[in-house]
Amino acid sequence: MAALLAAGLDGIESKADPGKRNNENLYEVPEEELRRRGIDFLPATLSEALDCLEKDEVVKTALGEEYAAYYLRVKREEWRQYHCSVSAWETDHYLGLY
């Protein structure tokens, strides 16, 4: 909650432009059109999200530098462990092929 409040306050103080209001379902808009409109995408993976957090001084300050460093360390290890495991989908999909 602290990070959300800090980010919102930072946006107000810096007079960040939130962009035009949108009422359409963006899941139905082709990716090329979203890019043409300048609509940014959220991180697609935990690793990408952690990279964004690592660069975000406002959120890291709101969380506290020590906790932010701990969180990043723990979540990077979680990501590493995730990539060392074989998912059920991989087993089901690939085991029969070879």
Exposure of 78 in the CB half-sphere (CA atoms within 13 A): 10
Token code pair at residue 28: 């139905």
- Does position 84 have pLDDT exceeding 80, yes or no? yes
Of 43, 46, 42, 44, nearest in space to 75 by CA: 46
Q: How confident is the model at residue 27 (pLDDT cuts 50, 70, 90)?
A: very high
CB 11 within 8 A of CB 18: yes
Q: How many CB atoms lie within 10 A of CB 4?
A: 10
Q: Which pLDDT does position 71 carry in this prediction?
A: 98
For residues 69-79, give the mean pLDDT. Answer: 98
Mean pLDDT of the chain: 93
* pLDDT of 98: 75
The answer to whether 82 and 46 have CB atoms below 8 angstroms apart is yes
| pTM metric for this prediction | 0.77
